[in-house]
Amino acid sequence: EIEGLITSKSWWDTVDLIAADTLGKYLIKFPDQKIKIISDFSERDNLWLNRSTLIFQLKYKDKLDFELLKSLVIHHYPNKDFFIQKAIGWALREYGKTNPESVLNFVRTNTLKPLSEREAIRNII
């Protein structure tokens, strides 16, 4: 079970791999499960499940659901945890390689923590 992998003996290196590879690929294969799983993980009181929702699309490139990512960023941006803020910036930066204008516009029109903003636009500006 993916949730168990993410929540047991968690640390950023294992969670990032599981989120981007295992969870990301699972949700490509079963897209009808995406909203249910991501909504559930996003609402849980678990840093690593929350981080996973932000980065599961890292390898999606032009198939990334930007509306979903934006809603997750807006939901999690108040969280001051370093790993959440870094994940927000990383997810936006990765999508910025595919669609820099959209990422830059999103960052300029939303209030993000400095770490997230810096990470998001560091390859764009």
pLDDT tens profile 8-67: 988 999 999 999 999 999 999 999 999 999 999 999 999 999 999 999 999 999 999 999
pLDDT of 125 higher than 90 = no
The percent of residues above 70 in pLDDT, for the chain, comes to 100
Mean pLDDT computed over 97-110: 98
Mean pLDDT computed over 67-91: 98
Mean pLDDT computed over 99-120: 98
CA-to-CA dists, residue 63 to 39, 68, 105, angstroms: 19, 12, 19
Cα(96)–Cα(61) distance, integer angstroms: 9
pLDDT for residue 83: 98
Residue 33 has what DSSP assignment?
G
